[in-house]
Amino acid sequence: MDVTLDDLARLVGGKVTGDGKTVIRAVNGIREAGAGDITFLANSKYAPLLASTKASAVIVADGTPAPIPALSVRNPDFAFGKVAEHLNGAASRPPAGVHPTAVVSPKAVLGKNVSIGAGTVLEDGASIGDNSVLHPQVYVGAEAVIGPDALIYPQVVVRERCRIGARVILHSGTVVGSDGFGYATDKGVHHKIPQVGIVVIEDDVELGANVTIDRARFGRTVIGKGTKIDNLVQIGHNVVLGQGCLLVSQAGIAGSTRLGNYVVMAGQSGLIGHLEIGDGAIITAQSGLTKDVPAGGVMSGSPASDRRTHLKELAALSKLPEALQEIRKLRQEIEELRKKTKE
Amino acid sequence: MDVTLDDLARLVGGKVTGDGKTVIRAVNGIREAGAGDITFLANSKYAPLLASTKASAVIVADGTPAPIPALSVRNPDFAFGKVAEHLNGAASRPPAGVHPTAVVSPKAVLGKNVSIGAGTVLEDGASIGDNSVLHPQVYVGAEAVIGPDALIYPQVVVRERCRIGARVILHSGTVVGSDGFGYATDKGVHHKIPQVGIVVIEDDVELGANVTIDRARFGRTVIGKGTKIDNLVQIGHNVVLGQGCLLVSQAGIAGSTRLGNYVVMAGQSGLIGHLEIGDGAIITAQSGLTKDVPAGGVMSGSPASDRRTHLKELAALSKLPEALQEIRKLRQEIEELRKKTKE
Amino acid sequence: MDVTLDDLARLVGGKVTGDGKTVIRAVNGIREAGAGDITFLANSKYAPLLASTKASAVIVADGTPAPIPALSVRNPDFAFGKVAEHLNGAASRPPAGVHPTAVVSPKAVLGKNVSIGAGTVLEDGASIGDNSVLHPQVYVGAEAVIGPDALIYPQVVVRERCRIGARVILHSGTVVGSDGFGYATDKGVHHKIPQVGIVVIEDDVELGANVTIDRARFGRTVIGKGTKIDNLVQIGHNVVLGQGCLLVSQAGIAGSTRLGNYVVMAGQSGLIGHLEIGDGAIITAQSGLTKDVPAGGVMSGSPASDRRTHLKELAALSKLPEALQEIRKLRQEIEELRKKTKE
């Protein structure tokens, strides 16, 4: 699909510098781009690559100079996403209908225009909303509900009675509704505590690949509207996530912890159970939280403390080997002074 | 199912305070409960919620006062589990029989009353014990043995020749018997070392979702009786776990490490290979162990040391920024004293 | 299969001490071995076990004394692997052909002698190289290409257009080509950035179980030739790994980071996005890297620094509680000296 830079400016609302008639055929990275490609610059770390990129045009933030035809916008990431979507067309979706090898209970309920892939299993009372796509080899348990316009990739499991909202995307290998990790230990035996609750995934959530979301012991584990979760993240039973949270890969949350809205957990960070995390809090990578966090808190370290405190401690630690030598010197000098004052 | 608080006291052996005729219909969390629900208080953090809960009754530990009808027991978690099971009835299980879309080798051996779900594959010589349930889309490799009363959720893989005991529960996405990570590097090429051993999972083990248990290089990787493993945990080849261990989500154990009985690994903790961990040892969250641990040891930090030592170091670190200033002051004062003693 | 120690010496090129006519039937670990077994000693930690092993023979490194018949070689790990392969024969592979329950698009392309297991799905334009084995319940997306001699275990997902080289091994539960984690946040809404690139896995790569490799935003996520990746590892979008890297279980790499050749990431280590890691660098277990690393760098800690610096800081930290007491003493002594000099 060929368009001009001027066309793209009309699409995303930016301002062109250089030749607006430049023809654009595809999107690409700043290193990989060639003639006919448009690239973008969102991270200033890559600004030096602009001088040598072979792209025909670039999307930059307002005020950023560019040596090639450019489209200046408020949010280059967002604009580039829209351009990519425009140039690639809507992602191809499988045709509507139920594949002959799918195993759909006569008691399952299918909306209009759904696509059910090969080998996918829908148990009694499972319900799929209009226009939803279930790729091959998906499992949807009894009485589970999937909303409209969902996109479920191959080999996802949604266990019985869980509820998935509209426009939700679930990537391969993800398990929604496995039992929470709960045992009552009595005389050396770990007795399983029944996990009779469900998982509720609200609208516009996306879960990455091989994510695990445990069902509640009773009641609901909740993933709030518009929250995005990366690969291999663990969400324990009865956890409640607010809206618009971002959980990066390999983060984990133990049972019954509650997050506000727009909380960010960076990669490999962890929260113990039964915490309250305020709106907009940020947990930095590999940090381990053991205490509640107020709204807007930024926490680092394991165990985590306020980020500024943590950075001060790290800076101090880097001076510690020298400080220990200094202490030894002070000791010697004091001994010498003592001798002198005794004289 | 309606029962009275007195009925539940007979079931779990506790003592009623308040109206024993209170009718109970369901279990629920202390925040979510309404009329007809029984809730419980196991974590004292939630005691203040007792004043406002809308539950009709509560299960508490012996000696805990409650403003509503209550059942006092030695172990509220355990009692609540039994009550939940009683009120919810046994979890529904699929009917016995082999689904027509399952692919069962004529050389596989099925016990009495087994249930084999849609699309599940049993290879030559696979053996399934009496009353076991294999949900849809499970894979059981050649000559693998699954004991009686097992519960295997959708999309579990049990590779060839692995042996699973009685009453084992395996959650979705879990892989038992993948190859261990072993290479012999020669002249810059990593040559694969054949992994010809198996995994043995003893009775009453439960594995969470998306767990990985590697088969032994030779011999056996062993998960001991009654051990419980949470989601996304990694067990390397030739690891041996004792009985009754608890491994919380995202913990990992490298090859050939051996755990005693009742070892606890908290979330995101890790053990390097070839360690010996004694009975009842505890590895705290995100800790990384590089040395053997005696029975009863409690280890923290990365690299981990004895917990008390680690806490002392953390406390000292929090005072370090101030201590560095104090050292600078001491230096100045000594300089002044020197001048004076020279005078 | 019975062979003598002399036979094995001819196979792997080592030198026999003791009775070369010793009959060997199987390989086994030094603890588990019995009569007829050959074991090996690669880790000196286990040398004391040589005195009590019941093995009939042992493979040791050149110059290592052994109380039983022994085969001395340069690389015991590598030699033992060859012996194990020899004694166990080639791993059994399923027969060539397409299982009747597999769902193979008429537009898919199958090489010679391929094996396609029960319930495996190949979408339009998927291509499978000669002699490749796809076990049951595998998914290969549209236009994805799998090279010759690949071994794909049950329940692997390879998404559309990804390209897998020759002799690649993918373990169960692994997902290749899930969408990268990319959103452009505008007015509180996280808009999905289309992930239109692919994953390229070069020849001789092995991926463990439940690994996730995200497709590029555009262009390619690349796993270089001969690189080996353990279970539950996360590779973000647009990451490029060089040749011969080793990534141990639960390691994670955020988007756009580039590794050279022969980089080692130990267990549970993490790299933030947009880094450059030089050839042969080592990231130790649980470390978290936030900066570029030159070739040969060894990095530890979270955030990571040069390993020697990190070890110095850890050693200093262990002395800190005592140092704080010493500072208090110095303070007292200075106060006393002051008083004296004032006198």
Candidates B191, B237, B274, B310; catalytic one? B237
Q: What is the arrangement of strands in the sheet containing A198-201, beginning at the earlier edge strand?
A: A109-110, A127-128, A145-146, A163-164, A198-201, A220-223, A240-241, A258-259, A276-277
Judge residue B69's burial from the number of C-beta atoms within 10 Å of its C-beta, 0-12 exposed, 13-18 middle, 19 or more buried: buried
Beta carbons of B119 and C135 less than 8 Å apart: no
Quote the pLDDT of residue B85. 81
pLDDT digits (tens, 9 = 90+) for A200-225: 999 999 999 999 999 999 889 999 99
pLDDT band, residue B90 (cuts 50/70/90): low
Q: How many CB atoms lie within 10 A of CB A10?
A: 11
Q: Which of A139, A250, A316 sits opposite B154 (nearest CB)?
A: A139
Nearest residue of C to residue A207 by CA position? C181
pLDDT of residue C91: 60
Tell me the shortest Cα–Cα distance from B233 to chain C, in angstroms: 8
Contacting residues of B for C269, CB less than 8 Å apart? none
Closest CA to B199 of C228, C172, C95: C172
Question: Do C16 and C6 form a contact (C-beta atoms < 8 A)?
Answer: yes
- Amino acid in position B214: D
Phi, psi at A313, each rounded to 5°: -65, -40
Cβ atoms of C250 and C232 closer than 8 Å = yes
Counting as contact any 3 or more CB pairs under 8 A, the partners of B are A, C
What confidence score (pLDDT) does residue A8 get? 93
Q: For residue range B156-178, what is the model confidence (pLDDT) as tens digits?
A: 999 999 999 999 999 999 999 99
Q: State the chains in contact with C (3 or more Cβ–Cβ pairs under 8 Å).
A: A, B
pLDDT digits (tens, 9 = 90+) for B216-231: 998 899 999 999 999 9
| Cβ-based contacts of C219 with chain A (< 8 Å) | 28-29, 32
Q: Does the pLDDT of residue C179 top 90, yes or no?
A: yes
Does B285 lie at the interface with C, CB-CB under 8 angstroms?
Answer: no
Question: Cβ atoms within 10 A of the Cβ of B47, count?
Answer: 14
Q: Do B218 and C27 touch (CB under 8 A)?
A: yes
Question: Over the stretch C188-199, which tens digit does the pLDDT of each residue have?
Answer: 999 998 898 999
Residue B89 has pLDDT above 70, yes or no: no
In chain A, residues 206-245 whose CB comes closer than 8 Å to chain C: 206, 208-210, 226, 228, 230-232, 244
Query: Which residue in this structure is represented by tokens 């516009």?
Result: A204
Pick from C32, C119, C171: CB nearest B178: C171
pLDDT at position C89 is 64
For an interface test with C, give the residue of A31, A172, A264 to mutate (most C CBs within 10 A): A172
Which of A212, A218, A340 minimises the CB distance to B232?
A212
Interface with chain A: mutation pick from C134, C137, C153, C175, highest number of A CBs within 10 Å: C175
Element (H, E) at B317: helix B307-342
Annotated catalytic residues of A are 237
CA distance linking residue B21 with residue B39, whole number of Å: 16
Q: Would the pLDDT of C174 be above 60? A: yes
**Single-letter amino acid code for the residue at B65:** P
Q: Which residues pair with A164 in a beta bridge?
A: A146, A201
3-class SS of residue A123: coil
CA pair distance B127, B114, nearest whole angstrom: 11
> What are the chain A neighbours of C182 within 8 Å (beta carbons)?
77, 81
User: Is the distance from CB of C136 to CB of C142 less than 8 angstroms?
Assistant: no
Tell me the nearest-neighbour CA distance from C20 into chain B, angstroms: 24
Cβ atoms B162, C215 nearer than 8 A: no
Best residue in C32, C134, C172 for a mutation probing chain B (most B CBs within 10 Å)? C172
ipTM, two decimals? 0.91
How far is it, in rounded angstroms, from Cα A67 to Cα B124? 65
pLDDT tens across the length of chain A (343 residues):
679 999 999 999 989 999 999 999 988 888 888 999 999 898 888 889 999 999 999 999 998 999 999 999 998 988 888 888 888 765 678 899 999 999 999 999 999 999 999 999 999 999 999 999 999 999 999 999 999 999 999 999 999 999 999 999 999 999 999 999 999 898 899 999 889 899 999 999 999 999 999 999 988 999 999 999 999 999 999 999 999 999 999 999 999 999 999 999 999 999 999 999 999 999 999 999 999 999 999 999 999 999 999 999 999 999 999 999 999 999 999 999 888 887 6
Instruction: Identify the residue among B231, B264, B326 best suited for mutation to test binding to A, counting A beta carbons within 10 A and taking the highest.
Output: B231
Contact A104, A89 (CB under 8 A): no
How many residue contacts between B and C have a Cβ separation below 8 Å?
195
State the pLDDT at residue A90. 56
Residues of chain C contacting residue B107, judged by C-beta atoms under 8 Å apart: none
The sign of the dihedral angle between the CA atoms of B173, B178, B183, B188 is negative
Do A250 and C270 form a contact (C-beta atoms < 8 A)? yes
Cβ neighbors of A31 (< 8 A, separation 6 or more) are A49, A53
Over chain B, what is the mean pLDDT?
Answer: 94
Q: Which of C86, C135, C191, C237 is catalytic?
A: C237
**Sequence letter at residue A25:** R
The reported pLDDT for the residue numbered B222 is 98
- The kind and range of the H/E element at B221 are strand B220-223
Q: In 3D, which of C260, C243, C233 has the Cα closest to residue B190?
A: C243
pLDDT reading at B155 higher than 60: yes
> Residue for token digits 């050939």?
B256
Q: How far apart are CA A286 and CA B267, in angstroms?
A: 12
Judging contacts by C-beta atoms under 8 Å, the chain B residues touching residue A214 are 208-209, 231
Which two tokens mark B335? Answer: 């300089």
C310 touches chain B (CB under 8 A): no
Task: Tell me chain B's radius of gyration from C-alpha atoms.
Answer: 27
DSSP B14-42: -EEES-TT-EE-EE--TTT--TTEEEE--
Asked if B77 reaches chain A (Cβ–Cβ under 8 Å), the answer is: yes
Structure confidence at residue C42 (pLDDT): 82
Check: pTM over 0.90? Answer yes or no: yes
Asked if A183 contacts A201 with a C-beta cutoff of 8 angstroms, the reply is: no
Give me the residue from C159, C190, C330 closest to A334, CB to CB. Answer: C330
Interface of B with C in 45-74 (CB under 8 A): none
Q: Is the dihedral of CA A184, A185, A190, A191 positive or negative?
A: negative
